[in-house]
Chain A
Amino acid sequence: MAEQSIAGAGRVMTAEGDRSARARFVIALLCLALVLSVFLSLTSGASDASAVRVIRDWFTGSVPVDAALAARDQLIVYDIRMPRVLLGVLIGAALAVCGAVMQGLFRNPLADPGLIGVSAGSSLGAVAIIVLGTTWLAPVTLALGTLALPLAAFFGGLAVTLLLYAIATRQGRTSVATMLLAGVAISALAMALTGILIFMADDRQLRDLTFWQLGSLAGATWPKIGTVGPVIILALAAMPFLSRGLNALALGEATAGHLGIPVQRLKYTAIVGVSAAVGASVAVSGGIGFIGIVVPHVLRLAIGPDNRYLLPASALLGASLLLIADAVVRTIVAPAELPIGIVTAVAGAPSFLWILLRKRGVIDL
């Protein structure tokens, strides 16, 4: 009863069924996990460069004994590993949070930007630049330079999302079922067009494409982070403002409206934010799958579906997992490396099936 939930000395104890204290504890743990993952990621790789020494030198300002070695290590840590770690954090967080937001929006634990075609649209944009960048689209690539690829991916994702939104919205109401099914169709179309482009590609482009399509953080550079970082950070920063609305949406759109949530604005903000973050992610790292489904699902088991905690926790766990996966692909076949999408798919696809088997009926529309 309520009286028991108030302990002496005014200290409020956790009420039964209230998981917010546990959620805060888990978030604290995940912060720690992210710090450890960043450290692991900075210190592991094909070269024996010592990140610890570089960081220590930087902190103490001491002059290294072997200047040439120190310079090499600095180069590896500052210009290769650091941008890669930062990119991994950004993309892991973006994919996991976008998955959680989409699932809240669709009221379905299996919804994912990959599922409704946002990723497919981004891929199409990016592949178009890779294959046609030197011929039909040469003016675009000349004008935009290195920005051409990320921008094409971003606009590809946004175009798909807006098209979906237009198809599924009638009289100001978005039908989730229509959007999901239209997403399947648009995904197929985008993939077919991508297929045509791949058919046109030459051998060198094919290798680029394959690697990029499987997903990889290998292309991380400071300029790329400068391009996509702000987009992802801005989109992620907007998401916490949606969490209360997404919670209400769990009861259905009508009930969320009765609870005082401006539902159409919520949906619009979520869709634009997700396509921006996903487009930016796909542009630099290709198709890294399943983070967006598995991370929020595991966290819902641990802390419940309250988006006020689920969204930040997803960001932290998504970032940590992607960093760990990246550390694995960089070292397991060193000096070569595996595309990270393979690792996330190998771990993610069975988890997806497991969710499906455990929760029959969740894809009822």
Chain B
Amino acid sequence: MIEARNISVAIGGKRIVSHVDFTARPGEVSAIVGPNGSGKTTLLKALTGELAYTGTVTLNGRDLSAMKPVEAATLRAVLPQATALSFPFTVREIVRLGLIGGRSGVLPGEDARLPERALARVDLEGFAGRFYQELSGGEQQRVQLARVLCQVWSPVLEGRPRYLFLDEPVSSLDVKHQLIIMNIARDFARRGGGVVAILHDLNLTALYADWIFVLSRGQLAAAGAPQDVLNDELIEKVFDCRLKVGALPAGSVPFVLPQSAA
């Protein structure tokens, strides 16, 4: 369980996140949604210890601020929005970096094959020998996800759940890979781990999230199960858009929803 109480973050004197309570349970996908600038990434960075915060964050009951980097690394892995490199690493070398500090959870002898297995999971089989810098943005994002998966390959280690923090994991992906990645996240949760993901696509959120946190101007606007949170009133209040939840488009306008894949 990840529990955060009364989290506030100020950057350069400006308060970006104020007094947010957040809980992510193992076995669930917890989504953070909200408009641009509402503090989603800042909250995630506080939860992963990347930014200084006031309040408390605990991972499996232990205070995050008291953990050494290597201890935190065995409990959770973090996927940033985008990662640029200035050195010519191959895809395999990048994915292998996931094995540096944490513990994948597989048998020692199997670690060597883990990069290939992780790449296959994110639909990048055969990319191991390519140079990371030569890939497209979406492919790079999936390489990074494969690296993150290596770090916490087993969702549960020694009886303790582990967590994936994903900052907009599908933002630059085509629809097929959006579904692949979200299925990986759901699968990680089904096997006992916890997932915290910042998402923009409300349809994907409704489809995959077990619990939604809605941020607005640095504060928690709503939290709950998708069917309880996503309603016309909230969409208008938080996103400043008059949209109808569950309404079909008029006439012959085509629409494609990820829900139809399920």
Contacts and interface: CB of A to CB of B under 8 A. Distances in A.
Interface string B105-145: 00000001101110010000110111000000000000000
Contacts of B90: 17-19, 304
Nearest to A262: B69
Contacts of A260: 69-74, 100-102
**Prevailing SS type, chain A contact patch:** loop
Nearest to A251: B83
A15 B100 contact: no
A362 B70 contact: no
Q: On chain A, which size bracket covers the interface?
A: 35 or more
Contact of A257 (B49, B120, B151): B49
Interface stretch (B91-99, B188-196, B225-233, B235-243): B91-99
Interface residues of B, number: 45
Interface stretch (A24-32, A226-234, A242-250): A242-250
A17 B49 contact: no
A263 interface: yes
B86 interface: yes
A261 B69 contact: yes
Given A17-B128, A258-B50, A262-B68, A304 B89 contact: yes
Q: Which of A107, A171, A305 has the most CB of B within 10 A?
A: A305
Given A5-B113, A17-B129, A255 B78 contact: yes
Interface string A1-42: 110011000001001111100000000000000000000000
Contact of A304 (B69, B71, B93): B93
A259 B73 contact: yes
Interface string A278-303: 00000000000000000000001100
Contacts of A300: 87-88
B87 A259 contact: no
A183 B49 CA distance: 29
B97 A258 contact: no
B129 A261 contact: no
B116 A15 contact: yes
Interface string A121-152: 00000000000000000000000000000000
B104 interface: no
A252 B80 contact: yes
Q: Which of A1, A108, A257, A258 has the most CB of B within 10 A?
A: A258
Contact of B89 (A6, A259, A305): A305
A254 B50 contact: yes
A109 interface: yes
Q: Which of A247, A255, A300 has the most CB of B within 10 A?
A: A255
Nearest to A301: B88
A259 B96 CA distance: 11
Interface of B: 45, 48-50, 52, 68-74, 76-78, 80, 83, 85-94, 96-98, 100-102, 112-113, 115-117, 120, 125-126, 128-130, 151
Given A17-B91, A258-B77, 7 more contacts: A250-B86, A251-B97, A254-B45, A258-B69, A260-B69, A261-B70, A305-B88
10 contacts: A5-B113, A12-B112, A16-B129, A250-B87, A251-B85, A257-B50, A258-B69, A260-B69, A260-B70, A306-B89
